[in-house]
Amino acid sequence: MRVLITGRNGQVSRELQHALAGSAELLVRGQEQLDLADADALRREIRALRPDLIINAAAHTAVDQAESEAARAFAINAIAPALLAEEAASLDVPLIHYSTDYVFDGSKDAPYNEDDATGPLGVYGRSKLAGEQAIRAVGGKHLILRTSWVYSLHGRNFLLTMQRLLQEREELRVVADQIGAPTWAGSIAQATRELIQRWRTDQAGPWGTYHLTGLGETSWFGFATAIAEQLRVTGKTCARLEPIPSSAYPTAAQRPLNSRLDCSRLQSQWHVTLPHWHDALLECLVNPR
């Protein structure tokens, strides 16, 4: 099986390369080899490679930066997924695409399910929603997997930022009124492997849109507290953490206060579930790669 993975050095792509190694011929294309904003090049590459499966692990994920470069965010997060879906449908192969909790406005007082009304608050969320809509409009075999608060030991993410700041400062103020589920990129990759295996062995559920996050919930402050606890276990001294409201930490892009996603549909339809977010954090830290 030939699997095209867009993105090379991103958090999810790196974990996918590890999780799928040995089970398929991986055709990994980073920005240096394939610029998703170049539609013609994207079509040529897919038609030349003729993969059996396309996994779109590339995205414009700089949430605040997207506010000032909307055209590029939409090119990568909306136009490129549409082209990938078209080419996948033409080849009659599945497309796996990752989306985000930011397609919602965060005003619901319970976890979001896949059928809830969307309402992104910023450019990043709007561009990701447009990508979802484009894939669904094309049809074909596809999985849109909405996830949240992705982290790993590579790249730029909350875990690495907190590990650094907790050791550099005496006091650290962290937002406590945004609630969601931290999701390890390694968990996403392993779940993707399971989904592929089910498809390949005729045990697939319905194609469509699903939520895929770590189980449980916490705030950014709670996530930071868990990171600090693990640093202290290794003998490191950490800053004192202070919870603050979002209003005390203004950013270019507004974040949803409720990022909780109900993942029961994926469990019932595909029999795939991620571990609890805290267990996944421990696995990420204890088994670095």
User: Cα–Cα distance between 92 and 52 in angstroms, integer?
Assistant: 8
Maximal C-alpha separation, the chain: 57
Q: Are 279 and 180 in contact (CB under 8 A)?
A: no
Query: What are the residues whose beta carbons fall under 8 Å from the beta carbon of 268, sequence distance 6 or more?
Result: none
Q: Does residue 170 sit in helix, strand or coil? A: coil
Active-site option among 98, 102, 112, 124:
124
171: left (phi over 0), alpha (psi -120 to 50) or beta: beta
Residue 162: closest CA among 241, 104, 261: 241
Q: What is the DSSP code string of 13-81? A: HHHHHHHHBTTBEEEEE-TTT--TT-HHHHHHHHHHH--SEEEE------HHHHTT-HHHHHIIIIIHH
Q: List Cβ neighbours of 239 (8 Å cut-off, separation of 6 or more).
A: 165, 166, 167, 168, 169, 170, 171, 172, 228
Q: Does the annotation count 151 as an active-site position?
A: no
Catalytic residue numbers, as ranges: 124
